[in-house]
Amino acid sequence: MKKTLLALLLSFPLISQGADLANGERINRSCSLCHGIYGQGASGRLSPRLAGMPVEYLIKATKDYLNGTRNNPLMVSTTGLDKMSDQDIEDVATYLSSLDFSYDDRFDIVQRFGGSEENGKEVFDDECDTCHAKDGSGKPDKDAPPLRSQHSEYLFQSMKMFQTQGRIHDNDPEDDTFTEYTDQEIIDITAFLASLDNSRFVAGKRFVPPRPAMLAAKRPEKPVKQHGLQITDITQTVAQMALKAGVSKEDAIQAMLSKAVELNLKLVGRQDVSKELESRGVETPFLSIFQFCNPMDARLMVISNPIFSSYMPCRISLVEDQKGELQLMMLNLDMLINSELLPGEVLDTAIRVNQSMLDIMMAGATGEF
Ligand code: HEC
Ligand code: HEC
């Protein structure tokens, strides 16, 4: 804790003069289902790590999604980014930038693709380090972000997008850095970058959530803005999303079931609770509960520790609130993901399952699949 606090205190005057970290932390709840509570990102699902990245880059990147320079409509619509003020964006960027879990080996970057570190280093030293720095930590004066401590899949995808003009590299539409690289060379670069990251981690230190005590102590709770996706309570146990205007119950259910099939999650149970009560003549708000499971994932988790069976199967409920509005709700596995309980070998599974459940919930909320 000491180390985190010290790092935060030291970085405050430099990066966050005008930022409201408590507001940033609050907004981050809507980011956390894809980027993780600690901005750790998710390997495999192309959601980048944001923790510890430079504020200026985070602000610029976030605004690029809003002005169409970069493309991720789902991220914008589920977080209500388009309704946030510049101050909100600065607040959440500053909060994310202040997070540091570099000493926690559970969030280590895994070199998944293989690839040749050596070849990657050669390319990097020839072509990249002038802007991204020798150790991959980026150069603010060139607007070049750090590339180490970033998930290999995300880096790979970004470079492929630069290559196919799906994203602009170096803020220069004419940039041709990646035109000539083969996929193998790009993989080699990610292998080299992953090696930089690993050398930075100190294994075996206990993870302390990077949450400065002063945040909790000082600020009165402001009501959370009603953006699209909400995590309803302070312990972040539940993620909730209202159905978009025009999406009926039937649309939502159809979209969720189709999405689940696409993601290879089996519908293993469905309880139409309100329907059953109504058939007995009892008046009740609408409630249906859907249960999903992938048996292979369940197996892996239970082999690791039988207690995980208590989280199974994953559920999403469709429920009518006090105002008569329909809400989708699910347990936020991110809590489990960030707990001390989860050993490395099941961390990825938990992240993937959480994201699949979120995808199903989002399909339901938007009626799109
Ligand atoms: C629905 C999932 C989702 C949510 C919720 C989400 N993001 Fe993202 N975010 C992504 C994905 C996927 C990418 C990578 C997209 C790409 O390749 O450009 C991304 C990329 C980013 C990047 C670019 C990082 C880089 O290295 O260039 C920033 C910054 C970012 N998100 C900020 C946020 C913030 C702030 C929030 C909360 C207000 C948020 N995101 C919520 C999925 C999400
Ligand atoms: C002339 C400076 C320059 C050079 C040389 C350069 N980059 Fe970049 N790079 C940038 C800038 C600036 C950005 C940020 C673009 C943005 O804001 O979207 C960037 C972004 C990236 C990203 C996306 C990171 C993220 O978090 O989304 C990757 C990956 C990347 N560069 C890889 C490389 C590699 C690999 C090389 C060498 C082959 C390289 N770059 C050479 C300036 C450079």
Give the pLDDT of residue 111: 65
Kindly state if the Cβ of 130 falls inside 6 Å of ligand 2.
yes
Query: Which residue minimizes the CA distance to atom 9 of ligand 1?
Result: 47
**pLDDT at 320 exceeding the cut of 80:** yes
Distance from Cα 307 to the centre of ligand 1, integer Å:
32
pLDDT confidence bin for 290, thresholds 50/70/90: very high
Q: Which of 145, 161, 157, 162 is nearest to 96 (CA)?
A: 145
Q: Which of 38, 37, 61, 19 is nearest to 146 (CA)?
A: 61
Give the integer Cα–Cα distance in Å for 203 and 344.
13
**pLDDT at 12 exceeding the cut of 50:** no
Range in 30-34, 128-132, 331-335 with the lowest mean pLDDT: 331-335
Ligand 2 pocket mutation, candidates 64, 163, 177, criterion most atoms within 8 A of CB: 177
State in Å, rounded, how far the first CA of the chain is from the last one. 43
Ligand 1 pocket mutation, candidates 75, 82, 157, 360, criterion most atoms within 8 A of CB: 75
Give the integer Cα–Cα distance in Å for 111 and 5.
30
Query: Which residue minimizes the CA distance to atom 39 of ligand 1?
Result: 31
Give the pLDDT of residue 87: 96
CA atoms within 13 A on the CB side of 91: 18
Give the pLDDT of residue 72: 86
Average pLDDT over residues 170-187: 95
Distance from Cα 35 to the centre of ligand 1, integer Å:
7
Task: State how far the alpha carbon of 135 is from the alpha carbons of 121, 151, 314, in Å.
Answer: 10, 16, 41
Average pLDDT over residues 198-216: 36
pLDDT confidence bin for 335, thresholds 50/70/90: low
Ligand 1 pocket mutation, candidates 28, 45, 47, criterion most atoms within 8 A of CB: 47
**pLDDT at 233 exceeding the cut of 60:** no
Distance from Cα 59 to the centre of ligand 2, integer Å:
16
Query: Which residue minimizes the CA distance to atom 41 of ligand 2?
Result: 128
Query: Which residue minimizes the CA distance to atom 15 of ligand 1?
Result: 72
Ligand 2 pocket mutation, candidates 75, 134, 170, criterion most atoms within 8 A of CB: 170
Output the ligand 1 site: residues, CB below 6 A: 27, 30-31, 33-35, 46-48, 50, 58, 61-62, 70, 72, 74-75, 78-79, 81, 92, 145, 157
Give the pLDDT of residue 226: 43
Tokens of 233: 């309570």
Distance from Cα 169 to the centre of ligand 2, integer Å:
6
Q: What is the pLDDT of residues 125-146, one digit of tens each?
A: 999 999 999 989 889 899 999 9
Burial of 245 (0-12, 13-18, 19+ CB in 10 A): exposed
pLDDT confidence bin for 305, thresholds 50/70/90: confident
Distance from Cα 139 to the centre of ligand 1, integer Å:
21
Atom of ligand 2 nearest to the CA of 124: 37
Average pLDDT over residues 312-338: 85
Average pLDDT over residues 313-318: 93
**pLDDT at 186 exceeding the cut of 90:** yes
Q: What is the pLDDT of residues 17-30, one digit of tens each?
A: 689 999 998 898 88
Q: Quote the radius of gyration of the chain (alpha carbons, Å).
A: 22
Give the integer Cα–Cα distance in Å for 171 and 285.
52
Atom of ligand 2 nearest to the CA of 48: 26
Tokens of 298: 């369940």
Atom of ligand 1 nearest to the CA of 145: 26
Range in 91-100, 188-197, 211-220, 228-237 with the lowest mean pLDDT: 211-220
